Amino acid sequence: MAHALQIRSVAEQAEEATIIMSHGGQINISGLAQADAFLAMETCSNLYIGTNGVYRQDFLEECIEAFGPERVLFTSMAPVFHQGFELDRVNSVKMEESARPSVLGGNIIRILEVTGG
């Protein structure tokens, strides 16, 4: 577990790596780290965020608007949270409908194909 600015430091040193910050780059649900997660993504184009556990829809919407939907990935906290709950989270985020399939799975497929995963 690491703070978003610690992850940013790693991302700056490993620019060729694709790094996914789970939980929207936050270590708790207080929302206090949203600004740091946003700053980390703003600084490092190799950082992506996962949607799992992010209770602030507006934060996900701001990230999609600022960085594009291609840097937001549907992620799950299964089996802790029901998969349907996590899908509802992404389906309720305001974004262009044409981008939703990318967030729901297309982005991770693209990342895995590019990285050889």
* 37 alpha carbon, distance to own chain's centre: 9
For the cut 90, the answer to whether the pLDDT of residue 61 exceeds it is yes
Average pLDDT (85-111) is: 94
Mean of pLDDT over the chain = 91
Residue 114 has what pLDDT? 81
Rounded (to 5) percent helix, strand, coil in the chain: 55, 10, 35
pLDDT tens, 7-42? 999 999 999 999 999 988 887 766 678 899 999 999
Q: Name the pTM for this structure.
A: 0.90
Helices (H) and strands (E) in the chain, counts: 6, 3
Please report the domains of the chain, with CATH numbers, ordered by start residue.
Answer: 4-115 (3.20.20.140)
Residue 108 has what pLDDT? 95
